């Protein structure tokens, strides 16, 4: 439980960023590809990019090198996919946003949660006598750790999934080739 | 201009002269326009949409140009699905178009509405639903480009009825650019050089030529490369015909029902050069064992095929023809004209080849498919085209028929679609009216699209079904005999089989039943003389097995039922 962070730490988890034509059904094509090739998506986020009519999708998934290579190649084959780039763990920023509803039926618990929030730089965005909603942005492992702390009082979690960016300007092709052992040099 | 007219004009621009399909409510406007253009585009109304897709595939497989299959919405569309999937598996270029309910009704479960976009997504190279009538021309031109460029495949286009009826500006672009789709055609010289270095180091090299070689038209380049390097060639089922099977270095087909010497070569090669093949399980058997002692060079236009199944030492991304051209250039540069270094290896393979052929001949019995097809092999001309259904007859054909030219042996390889043969043969005949076209079929397979006899009659398209009639779903029966102690579950057909000649006659065609071997040649001659489709129903030996065979999931070393290399039985290998 609460181990989304594995996706950025475990060597068998990979994160890739795609640039795709913003056509109807493009998300379905990607989801369908993972389904039909028996791959598993762990998280997926979609948003706009710097280019008009082009969206950026961040996908994290689990798999060994062979699966990684197949996923990248198969994604590249989709007509609507413009670019696939790896986001290596060492050189990329990973962020996740969570809204967390916590039961706080007595003052003691409420205080505890407040303290945790301070320590974790989470914000309380809603408060009622029975519960609070905490908003937290950070590395997935930080959110996991916070969830562990409050797990006995958790009512609801909504997480956006991982979005990520390479520290340097992504050299999409270079990164892809480094990972993709079968690409021509 | 009406939307449907733009579609037809696009087809014209792409050189389409025949459209295979079945009309229906949601595609009426398109057919309405086809009627006006009947002088330049022939409309062939099939009896089932599956037949239309296989006809389009047959057309595409003999020409290399996409076939066009059309249906209405809903059930019409879903009937296209088998043929689209078949084309996808065999990298056949195809434009499949389906009518759709008007855009205002899409999503509301209207009459004959179905989500064809969702259904065809996993089995097409790409699909489109046109929702803006001004984009019709661009979309159709794109579809043709996607279907034919790089590794070919089917593209489905969903055409809502109101789009077909809309008034639009009728300009058709000369070319469309798809920036996100730029396949690599010319291989990287560095990898090609590495490949040649490996080849020169090897003592027992083997080429496996796949369907990609046929698609790219690589026959001359392959023959030149082989003549320079003395490397024996086996082909996949899809590649059969790319390398002349009477060439001394031809090993025939490798894999599940391949030649024993070809599989011996695959097991013992120290360098495997696979070109335009995707290493399907039918070729490799157990992947844990396959090519373990060999360096593998794998060339394919689709990078995702490289490393997908077999671990590769030298990957080459590129079109088979360009790859072979460059391989030869680099080989000549490095090695010059060298003498035959592989002679020991070739001698061994030649010995096996001779022994195997002699043993096969010795075993041939009256009215077996092996014998019948040996007769047919002698009868057929080099330019004749043979399509097949799927099952024992297909594998007997693969084993006993020899081809010299690409695009003359055409079969449903990846999908194994029963019922493919006859409509595909009709499509081939439409494309090549001067060629004699045969459909080597089985009694089970033929009945799956038997209704297309009506299409053959109506449009006077001649293709000759040669039905290997054994009253069983023979391939499954063989599996049940070998692996399930003859527990024949669901394979007996004879008690329901029609008299196929009477069926032909019911369609006002004719045919002949062959019960004795001596009658077969007469029937073939009659069929050749006939102006229209002539059904040859051959009552063959009921429980003949196509051997050798690779039990599925086993390694090539465990092939059973052979006559020379693989004499072992199932009990010995299981």
Rounded to a whole number of angstroms, the distance between the first and last alpha carbons of chain B is 66
Residue from A93, A38, A70, A127 nearest B278 by CA:
A70
B5 and B30 Cβ atoms separated by less than 8 Å: no
B237 and B214 Cβ atoms separated by less than 8 Å: no
Q: Is B403 a catalytic residue?
A: no
Strand order in the sheet with B385-388: B409-410, B385-388, B437-442, B464-469, B534-539, B510-514
Q: Give me the DSSP letters along B457-505.
A: HHTT---EEEEEE-SB-HHHHHHHHHHSTT---S-B-GGG---HHHHHH
What's the complex ipTM? 0.93
Q: Please answer yes or no on whether B178 and A79 come within 8 Å at the CB atom.
A: yes
- Give the count of Cβ contacts less than 8 A between chain A and B: 55
Structure tokens at B456: 């053959």
Sequence spans of domains, chain A: 6-92+165-179, 93-159
Question: What pLDDT score does B342 carry?
Answer: 85
B317 min Cα distance to partner chain A (Å): 7
pLDDT digits (tens, 9 = 90+) for A21-40: 999 899 999 999 999 999 98
B476 min Cα distance to partner chain A (Å): 27
B209 and B283 Cβ atoms separated by less than 8 Å: no
pLDDT under 50: residue ranges of chain B? none
Q: Please answer yes or no on whether A29 and B121 come within 8 Å at the CB atom.
A: yes
Question: What pLDDT score does B341 carry?
Answer: 81
Q: Is B520 a catalytic residue?
A: no
Q: Give me the DSSP letters along A27-38.
A: HHHHHHHHHHTT
| pLDDT bracket for residue A47 (50, 70, 90) | very high
Distance, CA of A139 to CA of A163 (rounded, Å): 10
Query: Is the CB of residue A76 less than 8 Å away from at least one CB of chain B?
Result: yes
Catalytic position from the list B475, B500, B534, B544 = B475
What DSSP designation does B384 have? -
Question: What pLDDT score does B337 carry?
Answer: 75
B408 and B432 Cβ atoms separated by less than 8 Å: no
The arithmetic mean of pLDDT across residues A140-167, rounded, is: 94
Q: Is the pLDDT of residue A117 over 60?
A: yes
As a CATH number, domain A93-159 is: 3.30.70.1150
B408 and B235 Cβ atoms separated by less than 8 Å: no
Q: Is B49 a catalytic residue?
A: yes
Question: What pLDDT score does B194 carry?
Answer: 98
A122 min Cα distance to partner chain B (Å): 41
Distance, CA of B535 to CA of B466 (rounded, Å): 7
Q: Is the pLDDT of residue A11 over 90?
A: no
B112 and B106 Cβ atoms separated by less than 8 Å: no
| Percentages of chain B per state (helix, strand, coil), in multiples of 5 | 45, 15, 40
Residue of B118, B180, B312 with shortest CB distance to A82 = B180
Residue from B177, B234, B237 nearest B206 by CA:
B234
Structure tokens at B423: 């409509």
Write out the E strands in chain A. 13-21, 41-48, 54-62, 81-86, 92-103, 123-127, 131-138, 154-159, 163-166
Question: What pLDDT score does A105 carry?
Answer: 86
Write down how long chain A is: 185
Distance, CA of B493 to CA of B500 (rounded, Å): 13
Distance of CA B79 to the CA centre of its chain: 20
The CATH T-level fold of domain A6-92+165-179 is Alpha-Beta Plaits (3.30.70)
Q: Please answer yes or no on whether A29 and B316 come within 8 Å at the CB atom.
A: no
Integer CA distances (angstroms), B474 to A1, A52, B166, B442, B554, in order: 53, 58, 51, 8, 21
Q: Give me the DSSP letters along B519-568.
A: HHHHHHHHHHH-SS-EEEEEE--TT----SB--TTSBGGG-BS-SSS---
Distance, CA of B418 to CA of B408 (rounded, Å): 19
Distance, CA of B124 to CA of B101 (rounded, Å): 21
Question: What pLDDT score does A175 carry?
Answer: 40
Which chain A residue has its CA at the smallest distance from B301's CA? A77
Sign of the Cα pseudo-torsion (B483, B485, B489, B495, in order):
positive
B195 min Cα distance to partner chain A (Å): 12
Residue of B146, B188, B312 with shortest CB distance to A185 = B188
CB < 8 Å to B125, chain A: 79
Residue from B151, B303, B315 nearest A72 by CA:
B303
Q: Please answer yes or no on whether B303 and A36 come within 8 Å at the CB atom.
A: no
The arithmetic mean of pLDDT across residues A74-89, rounded, is: 94
- For residue B396, give the H/E element and its range: helix B392-400
Q: Is the pLDDT of residue A173 over 70?
A: no
Q: Which residues contact B220 (CB under 8 A, 6 or more apart)?
A: none
Q: How many CB atoms lie within 10 A of CB A165?
A: 14
Identify any residues that bridge with A100 across adjacent strands, giving them in sequence order.
A134, A157
Q: How many CB atoms lie within 10 A of CB B270?
A: 16
Residue from B226, B248, B242, B208 nearest B353 by CA:
B248
CB < 8 Å to A74, chain B: 304
Structure tokens at B106: 């899409």
Q: Please answer yes or no on whether B304 and A76 come within 8 Å at the CB atom.
A: yes
Catalytic position from the list B12, B112, B458, B557 = B112
> Crossing angle for the helix pair B369-379 and B392-400, nearest 10 degrees?
50
Question: What pLDDT score does A14 carry?
Answer: 93
Right CATH for B369-543 from 3.40.50.970, 2.40.30.10, 3.40.640.10, 1.10.3720.10 = 3.40.50.970
Question: What pLDDT score does A169 carry?
Answer: 63
Q: Is B161 a catalytic residue?
A: yes
Question: What pLDDT score does A7 carry?
Answer: 62
Sequence spans of domains, chain B: 3-165, 189-349, 369-543
Q: How many CB atoms lie within 10 A of CB B258?
A: 29
Distance, CA of B54 to CA of B92 (rounded, Å): 10
As a CATH number, domain B3-165 is: 3.40.50.970
Same fold, B3-165 and B189-349: yes
Distance, CA of B535 to CA of B510 (rounded, Å): 6
B181 and B150 Cβ atoms separated by less than 8 Å: yes
B315 min Cα distance to partner chain A (Å): 6
The arithmetic mean of pLDDT across residues A38-55, rounded, is: 93
CB < 8 Å to B303, chain A: 73, 76, 182-183
Q: Which of A71, A77, A81 is the best residue to mutate to test the B interface, defined by the most B CB atoms within 10 Å of its own CB? A: A77
Catalytic position from the list B2, B125, B142, B161 = B161
Query: Is the CB of residue A49 less than 8 Å away from at least one CB of chain B?
Result: no
The arithmetic mean of pLDDT across residues A134-146, rounded, is: 94
Residue from B389, B414, B390 nearest B280 by CA:
B414
Q: Is the pLDDT of residue A179 over 50?
A: no
Q: What dihedral angle (degrees, nearest 10) is formed by the CA atoms of B116, B119, B125, B128?
A: 20
B61 and B407 Cβ atoms separated by less than 8 Å: yes
Residue from B416, B415, B478, B466 nearest B442 by CA:
B466
Which chain B residues touch A if contact means CB-CB below 8 Å?
A: 117-118, 121-122, 125-126, 129, 131, 146, 178-181, 184, 187-188, 190-191, 302-304, 306-308, 312, 315-317
Q: Is B97 a catalytic residue?
A: no
CB < 8 Å to B181, chain A: 79
Q: Which residues contact B258 (CB under 8 A, 6 or more apart)?
A: B234, B252, B398, B399, B548
B118 min Cα distance to partner chain A (Å): 8
Q: Please answer yes or no on whether A183 and B126 come within 8 Å at the CB atom.
A: no
A164 and A13 Cβ atoms separated by less than 8 Å: no
Catalytic position from the list B49, B113, B260, B544 = B49
Identify any residues that bridge with A41 across adjacent strands, giving them in sequence order.
A61
- Give the pairing of strands B233-235 and B205-209: parallel
The arithmetic mean of pLDDT across residues A104-122, rounded, is: 93
CB < 8 Å to B146, chain A: 79
B210 and B181 Cβ atoms separated by less than 8 Å: no
Q: Please answer yes or no on whether A80 and B125 come within 8 Å at the CB atom.
A: no
Question: What pLDDT score does A168 carry?
Answer: 74
Architecture of domain B189-349: 3-Layer(aba) Sandwich (3.40)
Distance, CA of B317 to CA of B150 (rounded, Å): 11
b (16+ CB within 10 A) / e for B85-121: bbbbbbbbbbbbbbbbbebeebeeebebbbebbebbb
């Amino acid at each position: 439980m609460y181990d989304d962070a594995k996706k950025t730490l475990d060597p068998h988890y990979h994160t890739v960023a795609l640039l795709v034509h913003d056509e109807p059904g493009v998300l379905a094509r990607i989801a369908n590809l993972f389904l039909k090739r028996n791959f598993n998506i762990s998280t997926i986020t979609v948003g706009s990019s710097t280019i008009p009519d082009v969206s950026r999708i961040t996908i994290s998934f689990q798999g060994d090198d062979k699966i990684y290579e197949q996923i990248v190649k198969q994604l590249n084959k989709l007509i609507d996919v413009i670019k696939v780039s790896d986001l290596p763990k060492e050189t990329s920023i990973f962020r996740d946003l969570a809204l967390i509803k916590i039961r706080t039926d007595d003052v003691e618990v409420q205080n505890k949660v407040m303290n945790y929030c301070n320590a974790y730089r989470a914000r309380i965005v809603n408060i009622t006598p029975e519960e609070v909603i905490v908003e937290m942005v950070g590395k997935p492992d930080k959110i996991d750790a916070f969830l562990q702390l409050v797990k006995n009082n958790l009512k609801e979690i909504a997480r956006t999934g991982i979005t990520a960016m390479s520290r340097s300007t992504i050299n999409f092709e270079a990164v892809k080739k480094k990972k993709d052992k079968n690409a021509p040099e | 201009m009406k939307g449907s007219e733009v579609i037809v004009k696009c087809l014209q621009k792409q050189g389409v002269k025949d459209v295979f399909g079945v009309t229906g409510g949601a595609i009426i406007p398109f057919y309405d326009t086809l009627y006006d253009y009947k002088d330049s585009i022939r409309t062939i109304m099939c009896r089932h949409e599956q037949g239309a897709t296989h006809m389009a595939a047959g057309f595409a497989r003999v020409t290399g140009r996409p076939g066009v299959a059309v249906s209405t919405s809903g059930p019409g569309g879903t009937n296209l699905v088998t043929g689209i999937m078949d084309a996808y598996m065999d990298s056949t270029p195809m434009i499949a178009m389906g009518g759709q309910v008007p855009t205002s009704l899409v999503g509301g479960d209207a009459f004959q509405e179905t989500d064809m976009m969702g259904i065809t997504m996993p089995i097409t190279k790409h699909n489109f639903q046109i929702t803006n009538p001004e984009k019709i021309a661009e979309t159709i031109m794109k579809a043709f480009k996607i279907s034919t460029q790089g590794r070919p495949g089917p593209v489905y286009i969903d055409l809502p009825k109101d789009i077909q009826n809309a008034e639009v500006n009728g300009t058709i672009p000369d070319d469309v650019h798809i920036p996100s789709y730029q396949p690599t055609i010319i291989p990287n010289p560095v990898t090609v050089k590495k490949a040649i270095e490996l080849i020169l180091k090897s003592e027992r090299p083997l080429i496996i030529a796949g369907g990609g070689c046929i698609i790219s038209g690589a026959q001359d380049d392959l023959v030149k490369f082989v003549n320079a390097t003395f490397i024996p060639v086996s082909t996949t089922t899809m590649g059969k015909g790319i390398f002349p099977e009477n060439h001394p270095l031809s090993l025939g087909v490798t894999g599940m029902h391949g030649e024993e010497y070809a599989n011996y070569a695959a097991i013992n090669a120290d360098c495997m050069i696979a070109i335009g093949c995707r290493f399907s399980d039918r070729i490799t058997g157990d992947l844990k064992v396959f090519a373990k002692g060999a360096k593998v060079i794998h060339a394919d236009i689709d990078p995702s095929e490289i490393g997908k199944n077999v671990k590769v030492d030298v990957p080459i991304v590129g079109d088979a023809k360009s790859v072979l051209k460059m391989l030869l250039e680099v080989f000549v540069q490095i090695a010059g004209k060298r003498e035959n270094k592989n002679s020991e290896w070739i001698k061994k393979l030649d010995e096996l080849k001779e022994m195997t052929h002699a043993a096969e001949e010795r075993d041939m019995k009256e009215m077996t498919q092996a014998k019948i097809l040996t007769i047919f092999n002698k009868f057929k001309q080099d330019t004749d085209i043979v399509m097949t259904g799927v099952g024992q007859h297909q594998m007997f054909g693969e084993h006993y028929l020899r081809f010299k030219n690409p695009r003359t042996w055409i079969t449903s390889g990846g999908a194994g679609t029963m019922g493919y043969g006859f409509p595909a043969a009709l499509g081939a005949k439409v494309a090549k009216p001067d060629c004699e076209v045969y459909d080597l079929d089985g009694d089970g397979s033929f009945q799956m699209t038997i209704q297309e006899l009506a299409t053959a009659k109506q449009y006077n398209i001649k293709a000759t079904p040669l039905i290997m009639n054994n009253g069983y779903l023979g391939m499954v029966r063989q599996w049940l005999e070998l692996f399930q102690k003859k527990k024949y579950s669901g394979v007996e057909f004879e008690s329901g089989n029609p008299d196929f000649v009477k069926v032909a006659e019911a369609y006002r065609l004719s045919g002949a039943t062959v019960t004795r071997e001596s009658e077969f040649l007469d029937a073939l001659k009659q069929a050749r003389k006939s102006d229209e489709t002539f059904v040859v129903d051959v009552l063959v030996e009921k429980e003949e097995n196509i051997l050798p065979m690779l039990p599925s999931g086993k390694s090539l070393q465990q092939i059973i039922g052979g006559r020379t290399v693989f004499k072992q039985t199932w009990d010995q290998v299981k």
